[in-house]
Amino acid sequence: MPTASEAGPEQATAPDPTATPTAAAPTPAEPEAQPIEAVASEGVDGQWIVDTSVAEFNYDESAGTFVGFRVEEELASIGSTTAVGRTPLVSGSLTIDGEAVTSVTVEADMTGIITDDSRRDRAIQSALSTGRFPTAIFTLTEPIDLGTDPGSGGPINTAAVGELTVKDITRAVEIELEAQLVDETVVVVGTTEVVFADYDVTVPRVPIVLSAEDHGIVELQLFFTRSP
C-alpha cells in the first residue's frame, strides 16, 4: 500500500475520539495528541471491535477511523509535497487477556481510498489492483505487551508484530503504536514503513506528478469499543 509521512516515520499519538482539498492545499495532518481526560475502565479483558461511529471521518483533519498512506512526491506545479491517501472503510477486532493483546485482525477496503486529487485516486486504485484485490489485512502474530495496568487510562507506547497482506502478498511488519483507553474506547494510532515493490506495487504515474518515492508510511487510526 503506498504511503509516507511529511515528517518521516515518526510515531503518531492518540487523539480525542470526539474530535478533498486541491493539489496545492496543505497536507492533511498526521494523527496528533489532543488534551483528553482518560477514564479508567472496569477492566479491559475481552474482545473489542473497530467502531467507525465513535468519530466521523474527516480527511483534512485526520479525524475518525482510517487506514492510509503517506508518500513523498514532486509535483510539476508546487514542487515537493506529501501525497496522503486514506480509506475510512475499516473493520476488525482485538482481544485483550490480562496484560496483553492476544489477537488482532484489521481489514481495510482500499477501494475507499481518497486523496486530494481524483487523478491520483484513479492511479492509486490501478497500482493497488483494487478491482481484484480490494482488501488489505493486518493480522497479529505475537502478543502485544500492555504493561502492568492497561485499564488505567494512560497512554501505552508499544509495537504490533504481524503480517500485512496487500494484493494477496503477505509480508512481516512491525507497527509502532500508541494506544489509550478513553471513556470506554480504545484509541489506537500507528505507523510502519513499507517498500512498495514488496507488494508488487508500482508507484503510479499521473501528469501532475514528476516523481515519487518507492517507499512510504502506512498509517492507521482506529477506535475500538467492546464487542456486544
The model's pLDDT over 82-91, given as tens digits with 9 standing for 90+, comes to 889 999 999 9
| pLDDT of 137 higher than 90 | yes
In this structure, are residues 130 and 110 in contact, taking their beta carbons and an 8 Å threshold? yes
Residue 172 located in a structural domain: yes
The whole-number average pLDDT for the span 125-137 is: 95
**Residue 139 in domain:** yes
For residue 212, being part of any structural domain is answered with yes
In angstroms, the CA 218 to CA 13 distance is 14
Residue span of the structural domain in which 157 resides: 46-226
Q: What's the pLDDT at 39?
A: 37
Q: How confident is the model at residue 26 (pLDDT cuts 50, 70, 90)?
A: low
Give percent of the chain with pLDDT exceeding 90: 58
195 located within any domain: yes
Q: What is the DSSP letter of 20?
A: -
* Residue that wins the pLDDT comparison between 117 and 173: 173
Q: Please indicate, yes or no, if residue 125 is contained in any of the structural domains.
A: yes
Q: Is residue 33 part of a domain?
A: no
Average pLDDT over residues 6-15: 44
Residue ranges of alpha helices (H) inside the chain are 118-127
pLDDT confidence band for 34 (50 / 70 / 90): very low
Does residue 13 fall inside a structural domain?
Answer: no
- Give 107's pLDDT tier (boundaries 50, 70, 90): very high
pLDDT digits (tens, 9 = 90+) for 178-196: 999 998 999 999 999 999 9
Q: How many domains does the chain have?
A: 1
Report the CATH number that the domain containing residue 133 is assigned in CATH: 2.40.128.110
| CB < 8 Å & 24+ apart, contacts of 10-13 | 10/191, 11/157, 11/176, 11/178, 11/191, 12/178, 12/189, 12/190, 12/191, 12/219, 12/221, 13/155, 13/178, 13/189
Q: Report the chain's mean pLDDT, rounded to a whole number.
A: 82
- Confidence band (pLDDT; 50, 70, 90) for 79? low
